[in-house]
Amino acid sequence: MGFYIMSVVVAFGIALIVAFMQNKSLDFDQKIHLCAKGIGDDNITIMLFIFLIAGAFGGIAKQAGGVESTANLLLNIIPGRFAIPGLFIIASLISMAMGTSVGTISVIVPIAASLAHTAGFPMPLCVGSVVGGAMFGDNLSFISDTTIAATRTQGVEMRDKFRVNFKIALPAAIATTIILTVFALNTGGASLGNYPFKLQLAIPYFIVLIIALMGINVFIVLGAGIIMFLATGIFSGTITFATAFSSMGTGTTGMFETMIVTILVASISALMEEYGGFQALLNFITSHFHGKRGGMFGIALLTAFMDVATANNTVAIVVAAPIAKTISKEYDIDPRYTASLLDTVSCIFQGIIPYGAQLLIAASIAEIPSISIIPYLFYPYLLLLFVILFIIKEK
């Protein structure tokens, strides 16, 4: 957990102080003005508001029992013989509905660990299937903070980014499912057991997923989700008005660190651009990468480096996004492709670094080393392959 000893807010706070100490040609007030302009950007403001409402949605959905009911409903549907590919599919759907890979892993990995013990399946394989599915859903979810960050920073609609992402992620998901199915057919079946669920608590997630795919404004999608979980939770007796509003407050509080980092990064980016930092990075990329394909590879490598360095896919996107936008304009790259690359590549590397929160939490729950899961992360590796193919075929 070495990457999580120091708060990322403190790290970026120090970086901002360093930025203020640079460039003596600008006085303190001028630098503050630049930061204010960066923070006041329309996309940054919208992104902050979406983070807040997404936090409230996640909080009330969890408190109402929607997560557990949705997961248990899907577990009762999957045949025991296809338990391992079933874990991948369930994790994919839950993560897409919840918008969080860490939350999905926390819910599904205990079930995967129990299945591995009961059926004698390799523990790292079961856990790796869940992690892969969680990253698939996180990458495609309309309410994921990575999707919000990638689309708002590039000024594109979520549905447009989704369409590009889907062309890359779906083949990787299908290939992963085939690999896991072949493994399942060559091993004995397993009894998943009967898991209790309340259908009325699972339905809101599916409705949110459907209306999000229809391209409806994300504020309306999340607002409708909050109202549905409030109504179904009270009807089911899992929440009261008091606990509902308390859980929404807890959910928004959980987004504060991401929001503060976004503000700090917007400030640093504004100073970097004024100091010529963006131009220096662009000059480096243009000297090593040529043409549209080269620019896309440059964006992918930049995002990968940022994620490896920060061990946080949302932070990696927020940091890389302004530079990626500059590269996108220079190389005439479709902003939808840029947003897709930011989100997809950050999810790939976040899902395979052994010191990332996803693998650390999964390993902790399953009581195995995070490094042991890495050989079984079929989906992230296949997704990386399809990202490379996507860039190569681009004219």
Express each pLDDT in 14-39 by its tens digit: 989 999 999 888 899 999 999 998 88
Give 183-190 contacts, CB < 8 A, sequence gap 24+.
183/84, 183/125, 184/81, 184/82, 184/83, 184/84, 184/85, 185/81, 187/119, 187/121, 188/119, 188/120, 189/79, 189/80, 189/81, 189/83, 189/119, 190/80, 190/81, 190/83, 190/115, 190/118, 190/119, 190/121
Q: Kindly indicate the confidence band of residue 391, based on its pLDDT and cuts at 50, 70 and 90.
A: very high
- Mean pLDDT over 114-134 rounds to 86
Q: Kindly indicate the confidence band of residue 3, based on its pLDDT and cuts at 50, 70 and 90.
A: low
CA distance 222 to 230: 12
- Mean pLDDT over 355-378 rounds to 87
- For the chain, give the percent of residues with pLDDT over 90: 29
Whole-prediction pTM:
0.79
CB neighbours of 352 closer than 8 A, spacing ≥ 6?
359, 374, 377, 380, 381
pLDDT of residue 335: 94
Position 4 pLDDT exceeds 80: no
Give the model confidence (pLDDT) of 262-282 as tens digits.
888 888 888 888 888 777 877
pLDDT of residue 336: 94
CB neighbours of 89 closer than 8 A, spacing ≥ 6?
74, 78, 133, 177
Position 55 pLDDT exceeds 90: no
Asked whether the beta carbons of 55 and 144 are under 8 A apart, the reply is no
Give the model confidence (pLDDT) of 187-197 as tens digits.
665 655 677 77
CA distance 36 to 43: 14
pLDDT of residue 17: 93
Mean predicted lDDT score pLDDT of the chain: 85
Picking from 21, 45, 41, the residue whose alpha carbon sits closest to that of residue 31 is 21
Picking from 277, 279, 285, the residue whose alpha carbon sits closest to that of residue 303 is 285
Position 70 pLDDT exceeds 90: no
pLDDT of residue 305: 87
Which of the pair, 51 or 85, is modelled with greater confidence?
A: 85
Most confident region among 20-29, 47-56, 138-147, 207-216 by mean pLDDT: 20-29
pLDDT of residue 18: 93
Give the model confidence (pLDDT) of 214-259 as tens digits.
767 778 888 888 999 999 999 989 999 999 999 999 989 888 887 8
